[in-house]
Structure 1
Amino acid sequence: MYTLLLFAGCLAGITTVLFGFGGGFVIVPLLYAVLTATPAADLGQPNAAMHIAVATSTAVMVFGAGMATLRHHRAKTVPWHEVRPLSVYLGLGAIGGAAAALALSGDRVKWAFMAYLAVSLLDAFLRPGFMHQTRPSIRPMGRTLTAAAGLLIGCVSALLGVGGSVMTVPLMRRRGASMTAATAMASPLSLPMAVAGTATYMLLAGEPTSLGPWHAGYIDLRAFLALAAGSWLGIRLAAPWIGRIPDALHARVYLGLLGLILIVMLAL
């Protein structure tokens, strides 16, 4: 199990650096599958598998997004003037999203996760502006749009345990960003959401021992350590490719990965 999680963490680290996924699109389906194969008595609560998968993914995102942000900053690919205004609103939205996830059944969170992927894919294919960069620079957002977008992205991301990339990357892409810039922004934008979401999943889970001694709230600590170690390795392996993937290819691979993850989730 832990070897598999280590490998998943490595894939998550690679997707975090190159696509801004935050790892959730790899970690949530895999960890959900592992946990559903675990006897219900070992989980401490029935139907807790999806909540644990989402919460643990959010915690791993703190580590992965932090490291990926540092890598992109060193590569000078992060447009910080676009990132800073959104960050506070993302953190605030994440608190509401994590609280909402705990109020929903695991099955509903799973279906919400898949609906999110399907809508994102359809939007990217049906509306112009994602597959090809159309502007020479990023068009700035007004204060109201920044607040609304940040709160929505933070809420949805924490609810589903994924990075905000599926919303921030298309948003910035249509505002003229290259795939390198759009995916670079996803990591620092995922960080405040991940911190706020992780704290909420830890504090609102009920009794500290309800899921066993290796849990902090809904976070599986052993899975977290294995995934974080793999994420560190994946980020190191992927860092040399920052800014080197052709823009059109980068966009196509991004959408292809989303489609693959949706297929995996439908099969679970």
Structure 2
Amino acid sequence: MVPTIACGKPGPAGEVAGVNILALLGIGLLTGATTVLFGFGGGFVAVPVVVWADAALGAEAIRVATATSALVMLVNSGFATAVTARRVLSALRGSGALLLLLAAGGTVGALATRHVPAGDARWGFVAYVALTIADLLLRPGFLRPRAQAQSAGGARRPLPAVLGVPIGAVAAFLGVGGSVMTVPALRRAGHPMRVATALANPLTLAVALPATALSLYGAAGVAAGRTYLRLVGLVDVRAAAALLLGALPVIALLRRRPPRIPDRAHAWGYLALLGVVEAAMLLTG
């Protein structure tokens, strides 16, 4: 079976499900910034935006949003990894097992999205972000890092390999890429925010690759014929293209000239963005 392309009746030029493509391009600029600054790869931003853009699908919009998010994360995180300094990426040496298990978990999570009610996936996203915000606020080590040696390129394994499957599964199921788990873990291991967020990109890539492949294979019963959507499998390709067109130049620019952000302010910015995403997801309900 080849990927299904479900085309609806053409709508006004420059619109995706009634949303002007320029708006998605603008959001793409933001996803590029979050990819570099927070390691998100675009997932946390892309999911509520695509849910909003594809609201005509009703409850099924969350399935399309997580699939589209996977593709956006795959390209963004892959590009961000390619332009990251090798001395920073050297911290992942010896992490082959972790990357393989992240990919395995990503496969499990992507498959689960086809069998779990769409409403459950949506509220799972909301609950997960809320719990993460509470954890970062209440548990020491993120906003108030312990006095540990912080290096930009140590050979230390960033995460235990055994965590790969659960992180990958949750990340792919919710369309968040895993950085919401990996960045806090890396920071609590002693890495400064600029290193933790950079290392999150290749870890996100491992999750997003199988999730994207499965998302592009078949539409799993999502009916796009009543909308202005263009779906390939479960992916809204026009929304993904608009988001990526805005994101990639920003990634290139910020990797070339990274902003100098104090570490503590960087951590608070990460937390604040999670709060904005949570509010956006609730408002698009």
The reply to whether TM is greater than 0.5 is: yes
Structure 1, unaligned stretches of length 5 or more? 41-45
Asked whether the 8 Å contact 2:35–2:201 carries over to 1, the reply is yes
Match of 2:265 among 249, 252, 256: 249
How many pairs align? 257
Distance 1:117 1:255 in 2: 10
1:4 equivalent among 13, 23, 37: 23
- Whether 2:277 is the aligned partner of 1:264: answer no
Q: Which has the higher helix share?
A: 1
1:31 counterpart (29, 42, 50): 50
Shift of 1:70: 1.6
Q: Choose the corresponding residue for 1:160, options 174, 180, 188.
A: 174
Give the one of 77, 89, 114 matched to 2:88.
77
Contact 1:72 1:242 (C-alpha < 8 Å) held by counterparts: no
Report the Cα offset of residue 170 of structure 1.
Answer: 0.8
**TM-score normalized by the length of structure 1:** 0.88
Q: Is the 8 A contact 1:62 1:191 kept in 2?
A: yes
Q: Is the 8 A contact 1:99 1:204 kept in 2?
A: no
The yes-or-no answer on 1:225 pairing with 2:241 is yes
In 2, the alpha carbon distance for the partners of 1:83 and 1:168 equals 13
**For structure 2, which runs of at least 5 residues remain unmatched after alignment?**
1-19
Query: What's the counterpart of residue 128 of structure 1?
Result: 140
Matched with 2:34 is 15
**1:102 aligns to what SS in structure 2?**
coil
Indicate yes or no: 2:255 matched with 1:239. Answer: yes
**RMSD of the TM alignment (CA)?**
2.3
1:239 CA displacement:
2.2
**Identity of matched residues, %:** 40
**Is 1:177 the counterpart of 2:188 in the alignment?**
no
Match of 2:73 among 61, 68, 88: 61
- 183 and 84 in structure 1: CA distance in 2 versus 1, 3 angstrom threshold: farther
Given residue 110 of structure 2, which amino acid in structure 1 is its aligned partner? A
Deviates more, 1:130-139 or 1:216-225: 130-139
- Cα distance in 2 for partners of 1:155, 1:25 equals 15
Instruction: Map Cα deviations across residues 115-161 of structure 1 (whole Å, 9 max, x no partner).
Output: 1111111111111111134310479569xx72321111111110011
1:5 positional shift: 0.9
